[in-house]
Amino acid sequence: MFAIDLGNLPQWISAIAASILVIGAIVLLAHGRRTDIEVTAEARRLPAGDFLDVRVTMSPVGSLRNRPYKVVGCVWCNENRIVPDAHGQLSDDMWIALKPCPSRIANPHYGAIDLRLPPPRKQSGGMFRRRMKWGCPNRKVPTVEVFEVRAKPSNEVGQLPMIAEKPIMWLMNAFHGEYAEPRERLQFTHVVPVPPPDPGVIGWRAVLTLDIPKETWFFRHPSKDSWGWKNDDFVPLPLKEPSAAAAQPSM
């Protein structure tokens, strides 16, 4: 009996090792993409107008590198961005859009399961076709959405003012297609002009959205095929610069 048990020992060791590997792989896929992201913004009032100094940061805290979605050709995105490229093609540079792509609206079947064969990599042709099928192909590139924040007096006496937000621009491909290794800090700064604030505007809110493709995207809904994170920052109106006459000391 002892000889039989001893003979089965290598099989037990192999089974235990295989179980540990499977559990480790599941944990890695579930938690390996954990990421800290941050967006900070500051308003600057210059002679040329008002500008937002927007800084975006990505720092993976898991065990795997994070590579955001790459830019895919989109005719509407290219034609409706500020300063379109002379060659008519989107590149890895960030671009500004004053309105979202019409095909960004979710497809009626965006929440349905769309089974695919396992791809050799996350950015494979299968993922490319999936992006082209379900709305704007650039809907999941890293984006900073800028909202104009307004304060309206309440109709009732003694009540707090009402806050309303309106999106005014989208900063697309905020990380320029770059990726970040674990424990690495990736940061980009964007200086963008904003329209002169109307009376009632108290500032702006910048919202950073980051999506990373999942390894098991072929088992999931198109709307849930990515890891996703969001971070935001409120930017009050910049202080008015003192006039030259007021800045000079009186004699």
> Which pTM was predicted?
0.81
Q: Which of 225, 213, 27 is nearest to 115 (CA)?
A: 225
H-helix or E-strand containing 21? helix 2-31
In 13-49, which positions are buried (b, 16+ CB within 10 angstroms) versus exposed (e)?
A: eeeeeeeeeeeeeeeeeeebbebebbbbbebeeeeee
- Statement: residue 191 has pLDDT above 70: yes
CB 209 within 8 A of CB 184: no
CB 218 within 8 A of CB 116: yes
- How many whole angstroms from its chain centre is CA 165? 19
Per residue in 50-93, pLDDT tens? 999 999 999 998 878 899 999 998 888 988 888 766 666 788 88
Sign (positive or negative) of CA dihedral 72, 76, 82, 86: positive
Choose between 198 and 89: higher pLDDT.
198
Residue 36's identity, in one-letter code, is D
Residue 146 structure tokens: 């800028």
Q: Tell me what the pLDDT averaged over the chain comes to.
A: 83
pLDDT value at residue 1: 42
Q: Which of 17-21, 42-46, 170-174 has the lowest mean pLDDT?
A: 17-21
Q: Which of 103-107, 135-139, 202-206 has the lowest mean pLDDT?
A: 103-107
pLDDT value at residue 133: 84
Choose between 118 and 217: higher pLDDT.
217
- Statement: residue 23 has pLDDT above 80: no
d(CA 150, CA 162): 8
- Statement: residue 244 has pLDDT above 50: no
Sign (positive or negative) of CA dihedral 95, 241, 167, 39: positive
pLDDT value at residue 71: 92
pLDDT value at residue 60: 92
CB 55 within 8 A of CB 162: no
- Statement: residue 148 has pLDDT above 90: yes
Report which listed range, 124-138, 171-185, 216-230, is most confident. Answer: 171-185
Residue 172 structure tokens: 């697309």
d(CA 15, CA 41): 53
pLDDT value at residue 2: 45
How confident is the model over 221-235, as a mean pLDDT?
92
pLDDT band at 185 (very low <50, low <70, confident <90, very high): very high
For residue 234, list its beta bridge partners.
Answer: 205
CB 60 within 8 A of CB 181: yes
Q: Where are the domains of the chain?
A: 36-238
